[in-house]
Amino acid sequence: MSEKKTDSGIIINELYTGKDLPGNENEMPGQYPFTRGVQPDMYRGKLWTMRQYAGFSTAEESNKRYHYLLSQGVSGLSVAFDLPTQIGYDSDHALSEGEVGKVGVAIDSIEDMQTLFNGIRLDEVSTSMTINATGFILLSFYVALAKQQGADLKKISGTIQNDILKEYAARGTYIYPPKPSMRIITDIFEWCSKEVPKWNTISISGYHIREAGSTAVQEIAFTLANGKAYVEAALKKGLDINVFGKRLSFFFNAHNNLFEEVAKFRAARRMWARMMKELGATDPKAMMLRFHTQTGGSTLTAQQPLNNIARVTTQTLAAVLGGTQSLHTNGYDEALSLPTEEAARIALRTQQIVAFESGAADTVDPLAGSYFVEALTAEVETAATQLMEKIEAMGGSVAAIEEGFIQNEIARSAYEYQREIENGQKIIVGVNKFQVGEESPIPILRVDDSIRQVQTEKLSRLRADRNHAKCEQLLQLLNDKASGGENIMPVVVEAVENKCTLGEIADTLREVFGEYK
């Protein structure tokens, strides 16, 4: 019989017995090194947060979708931004043409943020924002809006992704070079610890590393190496690891290889706890790896798209059995377009069925003690640790990215995976096996190109209606603070409150830091 391997190339035995157990089965959930989960009672105490990632077209359209999702039982919002917002261009910029509102919502100013959350109290909902290079600006919009609503900033909760290292390695929506980008991130850590202490200041993301073609082992190795780089940068700035360590969160992918994915989540918790302890953390909460999961976008197929419902269900189980803190499930139609309302509802119902009907949430770490899962957790940890040691020998993540090592490793894995599909070694149902001829058409959500005109008109009105001299003064002050090494967050918040736009703030820092090419 042919050899079986996980997607990371770990050989799977035909049979596992007690002899394969690695010897750490007496670990307890809620206790260091947190292999079995960060809470002693896990989902018995509180289910994971059910988020649905949404954002498209204008703030008005996205606001309607948020109200719909909240009415259907989501417990947290997750915002997708369009490409110009992600790379610091206003909708009326020449480079924004053709991209406004396409892959997410267009947010140019505080007024767009007001519309996006119209009728939603920011102190009553937890919001995750998938934004990196301009994360500091979107957080400032959010904080300014919370202040307008009269919310207690000490109580608002949520996450900005704010993980720039994986942008250089896997995704590409960076603006500034690595060193000033790291400086902005530590400014956010420092400012949030005082002003918005419940906010997760970074979501160190393996998701996009996996979407770019990495294996499960590479996903956690590269993500934890990036996490270490952020921690070391914060320590260099004199920040307290026991304070900022509690506000670090992670974002992982869930793929179809159920047991490898569960092992990956368990191994990542153990590795992070040990690493944080070595870096000087003494508070157990600063050693806990808390993470959001999204089901695998790259696993969805345009062929026989209804099959994706089964894929997303398997991935949901992997995330829940692996102990996720929050979860977004993809719509079955996302290989074709942004999800329709029906697809988004089915995706949410998938989480609810796993939560309330499957029994997966009834006991803590239900796969613990499985000969296979415990052995696989140890193997994933060993392979990921070896990869991290290679990165460390190069001088850490920033150096490994600058040398192209991480990018090349991901590209190699993506190539191998695609080759296995094409030669039939790896079966993808409906793609290279069990195909059908005619398929019934799936309804598609289309975003209209006229949205750029709508946003441009809004920007014209905003600029005509603000105190121009005050904006100029604040943008100059931002330039001075960025040049002088002071924390930029207070002036960015003041600038957005005075109707400076996202593009104007990003451009001011382009003048100081330059652009990464």
Residue-wise pLDDT for 438-494, tens only, equals: 777 888 888 778 899 999 999 999 999 999 999 999 999 999 999 999 999 999 999
At 200, is the secondary structure helix, strand, or coil? Answer: strand
Q: Phi and psi for 480 in degrees, rounded to 5?
A: -65, -45
Residue-wise pLDDT for 106-141, tens only, equals: 999 999 999 999 999 999 999 999 999 999 999 999
pLDDT at 366: 97
pLDDT at 420: 95
Residue-wise pLDDT for 324-382, tens only, equals: 999 999 999 999 988 898 999 999 999 999 999 999 999 999 999 999 999 999 999 99
485 backbone φψ class: left, alpha, beta (φ>0; ψ -120 to 50): left
Query: Could you tell me the CA-to-CA distances from 158 to 3, 77, 288, 515 in Å, in that order?
Result: 44, 9, 17, 29
Cis peptide bond upstream of 177, omega within 30 = no
Helix 135-148 vs helix 178-195: crossing angle, to nearest 10: 20
Q: Tally helices (H) and strands (E) across the chain.
A: 20, 11
Residue 1: pLDDT over 60: no
Q: Which residues contact 342 (CB under 8 A, 6 or more apart)?
A: 443
Residue 32: pLDDT over 80: yes
Mean pLDDT of the chain: 95
pLDDT at 24: 79
Give the span between the Cα atoms of 503 and 507, in whole angstroms: 6
- Residue 11 pairs in a beta bridge with 5
* Strand-pair category, 4-5 with 11-12: antiparallel
The whole-number average pLDDT for the span 47-55 is 87
pLDDT at 26: 84
What is the model's pTM?
A: 0.93
pLDDT at 446: 82
162 backbone φψ class: left, alpha, beta (φ>0; ψ -120 to 50): left
Query: Six-digit token pair at 514?
Result: 């330059």
Query: Six-digit token pair at 447?
Result: 């975003």
Give the span between the Cα atoms of 310 and 295, in whole angstroms: 12
The whole-number average pLDDT for the span 13-26 is 91
- Residue 80 pairs in a beta bridge with 130
Give the span between the Cα atoms of 95 and 97, in whole angstroms: 6
pLDDT at 5: 95
CA-nearest of 59, 95, 85 to 502 is 85
The percentage of residues in the chain with a pLDDT greater than 90, rounded to a whole number, is: 91
The whole-number average pLDDT for the span 261-277 is 98
CA-nearest of 368, 331, 336 to 350 is 331
Give the span between the Cα atoms of 459 and 154, in whole angstroms: 31
Q: What is the DSSP letter of 48?
A: P
Give the span between the Cα atoms of 321 and 266, in whole angstroms: 10
pLDDT at 23: 85
Query: Angle CA(127)–CA(295)–CA(132) in degrees, nearest 5?
Result: 45
pLDDT at 331: 96
The percentage of residues in the chain with a pLDDT greater than 70, rounded to a whole number, is: 100
CA-nearest of 53, 11, 27, 95 to 506 is 95
Residue whose entry in the numeric block shows the structure tokens 């989540």? 265
Task: Give percent helix, percent strand, percent coil of the chain, each to the nearest 5.
Answer: 50, 10, 40
